[in-house]
Amino acid sequence: MIDAPGVSIQWLGQAGFVIPVGTHTVVIDPYLSDSLAVKYAGTLFEHTRTFPSPVDPAELTCDLVICTHRHTDHMDCETLVALLGANPQMRICVPRAERDHAVALGLPPESLIEMSAGRSFVPLEGLTITPIPAAHEELQTNDDGEHHFLGVILETGAVTIYHSGDCVPYDGLAETLRSAKVDVALLPVNGRDGYRRRHGVPGNFWIDEALGLCQAAHIPTLIGHHFGLFDFNTVPPADLDRAAAMSSTTTRWILPTVGEWIPIC
């Protein structure tokens, strides 16, 4: 349960968040470049930004970055290199299954912290991270049983936050989160469908699924994300608010604005 006032987090767009932890700053899944627009120029899904990056990564103070999986809008080399340039002592948490990919991107091996589902660790004073599996749209592991997609439970002493990464509901997820006594869930709400899946774009929670998970896991606050950045992979904010208003759950629903600081207690 949240027991300290004045905790706020910042939405960077897509799945990116800035989370202060004491005197430290943690960033999750930052995509603050236009690298995907360059990569997919001239294709069906061009990945053109609908809004500019809210911050310059070269000017962002950061002690720890968490990348939940290898997709570029979650593990963006251009963004991470800029962050490292401004914060040489910064560490980057990546799934153990994606360590080789992170190194191939050019990230210094000594900057990496490998994450495995179910193995908690303390990368900073006052912060415990517990990675758990994520299903995008299915659970995927390598030959060693390491998950390619992860969510993270962040325990700061003041608040417990769950960031799912890219994920859909799967058996046992609500029970895991209920046991962790999560206060705030950061969940993608851009949904999924066969058309996107057939063209290589696996999906995420629909808003009703995200609210349902929070209700089942006794999570009092839901902040939606992963909408609005790319026109082919979003849901209109008005539709999200309408669905949340029609829901019978007691979960507090927050629709963030890019760049804003969101009070969570």
- Residue numbers in the chain where pLDDT is lower than 50: 1-5
Has residue 138 been placed in a domain?
yes
CATH classification of the domain holding 59: 3.60.15.10
Q: Is residue 76 part of a domain?
A: yes
Q: In the prediction, which pLDDT does 2 show?
A: 32
In a domain, 255, yes or no: no
Is 2 part of a structural domain of the chain?
no
Contact 116, 128 (CB under 8 A): no
Give the chain's radius of gyration (CA, Å): 17
Model pTM? 0.96
CA dihedral 110, 112, 117, 120 (to 10 degrees): 70
Q: Which two tokens stand for residue 218?
A: 């006794």
Q: How far apart (Å, rounded) are the C-alpha atoms in residues 205 and 171?
A: 14
What is the tens place of the pLDDT at every residue in 9-38? 999 999 999 999 999 999 999 999 999 999
Q: Which domain holds residue 147?
A: 8-249
Residue whose token pair is 């912290």? 113
Number of domains into which the chain is organized: 1
Alpha-carbon separation of residue 30 from 7, 133, 240 (angstroms): 20, 20, 23
39: exposed, middle or buried (Cβ count in 10 Å: 0-12, 13-18, 19+): exposed
Q: What is the pLDDT of residues 217-243, one digit of tens each?
A: 999 999 999 999 999 999 999 999 999
Q: What's residue 265's pLDDT?
A: 75
Tell me whether residue 260 is in a domain. no
Q: Is 264 a domain residue? A: no
Asked if residue 256 belongs to a domain, the reply is: no
